[in-house]
Structure 1
Amino acid sequence: MGTANATIFPLASGRFAGFSCASRYPRRVLAHGPAATGLAFLPCCVGFTAGARRAGRPYGRTGARTLVLVGAVVGALGLLWFSRLGVDGPFLGAVLGPSPLTSLGIGACFVPPASPATTGVDVEEAGMASGVLNSAQRVGGSLGLTVTASAATRHTHPTGTPRLSDLTAGYGAGLFLAARLLAAAALLACLPPGRDRDHPPVAPGDGGPPGREGDGSGASPGPLARGRGRA
């Protein structure tokens, strides 16, 4: 549970930060209109959905760890491709090319951590486990946007309206930082899982672990107890 939540934090940071910088580039640097910018990121949306849906098929064979590791590495490579932006594009190489790679990788690794983060907890703690997972996603995404926005601002012109080259450098720096966040998530996925506490199931009316009968002492019932049972 702890490793899964620790992994989802940089995953959410890299995802929101990367998509934020990548979506601003065609609008502010390439001067595309709102409709053209939305259509430009349609392959990214399709890739994210396809990656999330496809990840469920190998999950039973590979588990969450492998999917997160592979997906985070693929997404990081896509964001690195995104970070090689130019003032003049080109659109095919700067936006359309890395979009499917990035979205497939992030989509494939974003859903699997939810299962280990909420599995194995007591029934009365299930809501808390789900809340911790959602909080890790929200806080991680917000922190990622804040950090990448700060990194991008450092490259803009200090006075007046930033030049296109400054905007391009800023978005490239933000995308590169988002790629490193996904790489950190891949490294966290390599860590061994936390050791779960074993709580042996207790039968209703039984005061001890399985195998004990009635008194919770772990000893077999004596002849007197067996005789009372037959009576």
Structure 2
Amino acid sequence: MTPSEKPAPEKTVPGKADSEKTSEDRTAAPDPRRWRVLALLGVAQLMLIVDVTVVAIALPEMGADLGLDRSGLTWVASVYALVFGGLMLLGGKAADVLGPRRVVLAGLALFTLASLLAGLARSPELLLAARGLQGAGAAAMSPAALSVIVRTFSGPELSRALGVWSALGGAGAAVGVLVGGVLTSGPGWPWVFYVNVPVGALLLLALFRWVRPWPGSGGRLDVLGAALATGATAAVVYGLVAAGDDGWLGAPTLVALLVGVVGYVLLARHLRASAAPLVDPALLVRRPVLRGLGLIFVATALMISVFFLGSFTLQQLHGFSPLDTGLTFLPVAVGTILGSSVAGRVLPRLGVRVVSVVGLLVAAVGLAAAAGIFSMTVLVVGITVAGFGVGAVFVAAAGSLFSAAGPHEAGVASGALSTFHEFGAATGVSAVSSVAAAALVDPGFETFAAGYWFAAAVALAAALASLAPARTAS
């Protein structure tokens, strides 16, 4: 979950939870272990979110040790988010069908084992495979954990629990960059993965003991829909990565992008024809929903691009250590949290369009400053300002999407938001690494600046697109 999901608890998810609880759930006494369960699931979710940003700090060291080229480094950063996002909706459906406790434990076990495999990896191929398995485990655990929370809490306590859950997104960004710097500077980059192993093992034992074994509802899983969504996005990401090596008109780029488009067309046809689709197509065609998904995609792409570019800029151009880089990124994470907080307060009064446009313009200004002025201080201030704007866009995205989603659609709407969040991370890293490809081989201010200029242009274009009014669903 991201900071963008703050509006969801009060408007939708509690209503969904109350309407879907069985009579036994509604009459049963509150679980005396509920806050303990929330704390454990919160730590597990934080671990998943941290893994998006913790690797960015360690990338230069990984590249040197494993001989990773630019495209390899890009895939290490993006494959986790790609698989995480691609299988998120399937993981949520699995929790409904099989029961959330079973899926939480299976997902956490897979994530923990994959983390061990990633730390032991001594070849690029094994590291990429382990990162993909981490994403699959995260995609199973995250939505199932939220399902456990919804079933465990009720009434005002549910809103409080979901507020804690939503706050983990901003905290994860801050913890990720700091932990990545500490571990990479200390025992080495494998420990950004090894640290998950003892934590995951302890969480497995505790959750096995304390989470209630709710039964599943039965039904079918739309595996084909999940495969099409993930495969099509993987093709697009591959095309963006290839563009950095072969140019935007190179055959690998064009073929991969064409395969991605065909995959999305097949996915749309499948969703319309399936009796139990991964997501209801009627939800996805509502303009506020489309606006929300587009905003979360762009905001996450910008945020992860800042961490990816900034990690190389600070270490290769300014001579920072991984620890110094992690500490330097803390203001960016704080700026993102503050932007989310301010936007949450003004969104009811100003509306989605104003908040999203202002947030994107602020992000564009910060990124343009980082691109136009060669100064470490200006770089940090600029990307912190950009983080503030991106945080506001996160909240606007959720506000737009949930304004058009009814209580009975809250689960799939939240899953869709998280899915586009992860796809934005994967696509953003791929695109910005291709634009700044030369900088990763021969570091220089001008080559790094190209990546920041590109990100600023994307933010500006998204702000102009957000000026169009969005009709709320009837």
- 1:156 Cα shift? 4.4
Aligned runs of 1:40-51 on 2, under 5 Å? 40-51=328-339
Q: TM-score, with normalisation over the residues of structure 2?
A: 0.37
Whichever residue aligns with residue 109 of structure 1, its letter is V
1:115 matched to 2:399: yes
> C-alpha separation between the residues in 2 aligned to 1:30 and 1:5?
36
Please state which structure has a larger fraction of its residues in helix. 2
Give the alignment partner of residue 467 of structure 2, picking from 174, 190, 203. 190
**Can you list the C-alpha shifts for 1:4-50, whole angstroms capped at 9, x where unaligned?**
21222222222211232123211111111112112222221221111
Alpha-carbon displacement from aligned partner over 1:170-204 (angstroms, at most 9, x marks no partner) = 321111111122112212211121452x4xxxxxx
User: Offset of 1:141 from its aligned partner?
Assistant: 1.9
Instruction: Assess, with a 3 A threshold, how the Cα gap between structure 1 residues 102 and 164 changes in structure 2: closer, same or farther.
Output: same
Q: How does 1:48-63 map to 2 (within 5 A)?
A: 48-63=336-351
Displacement of 1:78 after TM fit? Answer: 0.3
Question: How far apart in 2 are the matches of 1:136 and 1:96?
Answer: 27
Q: Distance in 2 between the 1:45 and 1:12 partners?
A: 13
Between the aligned partners of 1:75 and 1:184, the Cα distance in structure 2 is: 12
- Normalization by structure 1: what TM-score? 0.73
Gaps of 5+ in 1: 199-231
**7-16 or 139-148, which deviates more:** 7-16
Q: Which of residues 442, 445, 457 is equivalent to 1:163?
A: 442
Task: Please say if 1:91 is aligned against 2:379.
Answer: no
Q: How does 1:1-231 map to 2 (within 5 A)?
A: 1-84=289-372, 86=374, 90-93=375-378, 95-153=379-437, 155-156=438-439, 162-165=441-444, 168-194=445-471, 196=473, 198=474
Deviations 1:42-96 (A, max 9, x none): 221221111111112211210121111101101111001111354xxx3223x23
Deviations 1:93-145 (A, max 9, x none): 3x233133212211122222102212332333222222221122111221111
Higher relative contact order (CA 8 A, sep 6+): 1
Cα distance in 1 for partners of 2:453, 2:322 equals: 25
The residue type equivalent to 1:163 in the other structure is D
Quote the Cα distance in structure 2 between the aligned partners of 1:7 and 1:105. 12
Matched letter for residue 170 of structure 1: T
Native 8 Å contact 2:367 2:455 kept in 1:
yes
Identity fraction in percent? 28
Distance 1:106 1:121 in 2: 23
CA 1:110/1:17 → structure 2, altered by over 3 Å: closer, same or farther?
same
The alignment partner of 1:183 has SS state of helix
Specify whether residues 28 and 183 from structure 1 end up closer, same or farther in structure 2 by C-alpha distance, changes over 3 A only: same
1:201 aligned partner: none
Judge conservation of contact 1:83–1:172 (CA < 8 Å) in 2.
yes
Greater C-alpha radius of gyration: 1
Q: Structure 2: how far apart are the matches of 1:50 and 1:122? A: 28
- Give the distance between the partners of 1:195 and 1:41, measured in 2 at CA: 37
- Residue 169 to residue 122, structure 1, CA distance change in 2 (3 Å): same
> Quick one: which amino acid aligns to residue 115 of structure 1?
G
Q: Equivalents in 2 of 1:3, 1:18: separation in Å?
A: 23
Which whole-Å CA distance do the structure 2 matches of 1:106 and 1:114 have between them? 13
| Matched letter for residue 465 of structure 2 | L
SS in 1 for 2:454: helix
What is the DSSP-based 3-state SS (H/G/I as helix, E as strand, rest coil) of the residue aligned with 1:31?
coil
Query: How many residues are paired up?
Result: 186
User: For 1:164, what is the secondary structure of its paired residue?
Assistant: coil
* C-alpha contact (below 8 Å) 1:11/1:185 kept by paired residues: no
Distance of aligned partners of 1:92 and 1:120 in 2 relative to their CA distance in 1, 3 Å threshold: closer
Q: Structure 2 stretches of 5 or more lacking a match?
A: 1-288
Contact 1:12 1:141 in 2 (8 A): yes
